[in-house]
Structure 1
Amino acid sequence: MSRTLLCLAITAVSTPLLADTVWLKNGDRLTGTIKVFDGGKLLLQTEYGGAIALDWKQVKTLKSDQPLLVKQDEHTGEVAKSLQAADDGKVVLANGDAPKTVELASIQQIIKPKPVITDLVWKGNIDAALDFQQAENDTNDYNVAFKTSARHGDWRHNARGDYNRETTDEVVGTDNWSAEYSLDRFLTEKFFWDGRISYKRDKVEDLSRQRVVGTGPGYQLWDDELGAFKVGALLNRTDFEFSNGQKENFYSVAGTWDYTRYLIGK
């Protein structure tokens, strides 16, 4: 019994020590986990109130034992091993023997640093829309789309696809689907080589089949808590097949980009 009480006491004392702390100008002190600071809002994940968005102008100082990337301008940042509380309107970026005190007003972003990827990291989403209208003309509209990405080490797999079908009074006006797969091999932290293949099938339009195979370089500008942005260039071979059996193929060069922005972080 005494051992159980001792364990409970140690747990109760230790838990707050592991939490991040934010002191507000009105005297309140909040504990939780700092998720991200961007756009003038500090997102604090708490056990008692979920995710709380705090006005940065109302923050007096803060403390965190987790490594955080602190940006004071758009292009440069410093990964602090921890954040230590300081005088009003300031915070200490602790990095071993060279701690640095900065003004809170000078900080533009605080995000989690991107770890070295050694295990599988997966993310993706599925969107679906169904629309049924019964009137003078009955209309049925189906739209389904997915996008997914998985990374392991220097390899990243990307896949996307969609299906669209629309009928009006049982007459098919749209009936098509498409799929794309790409494989990225990172040569450096930012630079990668992209190979991809895509296919589209259309049962209504004259262009019934499209196949594209491409390869080329790419560059990952960023991929963090706030979103991701990558650009690239591809040399493609495209094959067209028409509903009358005619076929065409050609080579082309294309630019690619993929931009994702989260309003308040992941």
Structure 2
Amino acid sequence: MNNGDVLSGDIMKLDSGKLSLQTKYAGTIELDWRYVTALDSDKSFWVSLIGEEEARLRQFEGQETGVTVIDSNGRKRSFSAVWPVAAIHIEKPVIADTWELGGNLVATLDSKSGNDDELLIGVEGKLNIDDQWNKNAFYWDIEAEDDDGVKSSEWKVGYSYSRYLDEHWFVQGAAEQEYDSDEDLRTRTSLGGTLGYRFWETAEGALKTSGGISRLWEDYKTNESQQDYALTWVFNYRTRIINNWEYFANSRTFFRLKQSTTLVNVNQGVKIGLTDHITWNLTHILDYDSDPVDKTQKIDSRVKMGIGYQW
């Protein structure tokens, strides 16, 4: 385990991110797969790796960190972490994929500066529906302000689907729309696809990046609406700092091909686990447009605080 504990027993199954272990001292216990750092066994199991359509009969060989998977033909593959192992069964499963539901919901207070200075309250959330090679993410961020009876609102909603080809490579399709009742840029909609590479993804941290092409639609209240294709680059990183403190950084860059301009969104911050489910979040968000249509300032910056619930 990632806390240094070594547990022994009979492996019953790995299903939906939970490892069932039959022990002599505590009966059957369930372990969150994200916190398992190494695995060893002298038995054979039906094992599914990320990106595979069906389970295969395999054995495990222990490492200090990670796992070595041995196929029935003797082929060995060593991984520095256990996350490439998606499912383990004693008997051959009818289907290899198992779905897992997770997400978070956060109440936020947002201080914005740049082209407009605002203080907004809102709610944001994310819902993940995943199996070992299909990843679905629905997300939203809704904020509102009442300034002496003058009400304004802004929101962002999006969806992404990632299909993993193996434990590292994946293709992703994504759609997103942003709205701001105060800005001349009323809505921005993006739709695109990327090819990505996952360097690692464990309970301790993750690093993923992808690149591709998107279509942008930008609608203005007073200026002419614009459409353009854009080269797209996405970067996602998180790491555990200490105990329940986690640092995260995510960015998305569009390079508009027809206009030869750049649009960048970066959000980074710290998430602190107060309990197993309750978190405190501090996020800094930066939006950069190299050639803004409606404003003179190229950068909008905001700091957002929130209390969240994750499952």
TM-score for the superposition, normalised by structure 1: 0.54
- Tell me what 2:166 maps to: 188
Higher RCO, Cα 8 Å, sep 6+: 2
* Cα offsets for 1:205-250 (capped at 9, x unmatched): 1010111011110111222222332111130110111113731111
Indicate conservation of the 8 Å contact 1:70/1:80, yes or no. no
> In the alignment, is the contact (CA less than 8 A) between 1:237 and 1:251 conserved in 2?
yes
Aligned to 2:64: 70
User: 1:238 touches 1:251 (CA, 8 Å); kept in 2?
Assistant: yes
Is 1:150 aligned to residue 129 of structure 2? yes
What residue ranges of structure 2 are gaps of 5+ in the alignment? 1-22, 38-59, 71-79, 88-96, 111-117, 245-275, 277-311
CA gap of 1:228–1:121, structure 2 versus 1, over 3 A, is farther
Q: 1:194 to 1:243 in 2, by over 3 A?
A: same
Measure how far apart 1:112 and its partner are: 5.2
Q: Percent identity between the aligned chains?
A: 20
CA distance in 1, matches of 2:140, 2:233: 20
Mapped to 1, the partners of 2:132 and 2:32 lie a distance apart of 27
| Pairing 1:255–2:238 present | no
Q: Distance in 2 between matches of 1:257 and 1:180?
A: 17
**Residues 1:16 and 1:204: Cα distance change in structure 2 (over 3 Å):** same
Q: For residues 80 and 241 of structure 1, what CA distance do their matches in structure 2 show?
A: 52
Determine the C-alpha separation between the residues in 2 that align with 1:33 and 1:164. Answer: 37
Name the larger-Rg structure: 1
CA distance in 1 between partners of 2:120 and 2:189 (Å): 26
In the TM superposition, what whole-angstrom CA distance separates every residue of 1:82-127 from its partner, at most 9, and x where no partner exists?
A: xxxxxxxxxxxxxxxxxxxxxxxxxxxx975543252012322111
d(CA) in 2 for partners of 1:120, 1:231: 24
2:120 to 117, 141, 165: 141
Gaps of 5+ in 1: 1-13, 21-31, 39-65, 72-76, 82-109, 132-138
Is 1:16 aligned to 2:10, yes or no? no
The 5 A counterparts of 1:102-251 are: 113-117=83-87, 118-129=97-108, 141-172=120-151, 174-244=152-222, 246-251=224-229
Cα pair distance change 1:120/1:264, threshold 3 Å: farther
Bigger share in helix: 1
CA apart distance, 1:197? 0.6
What's the TM-score once normalised by structure 2's chain length? Answer: 0.47
**Residue aligned with 2:166, SS:** coil
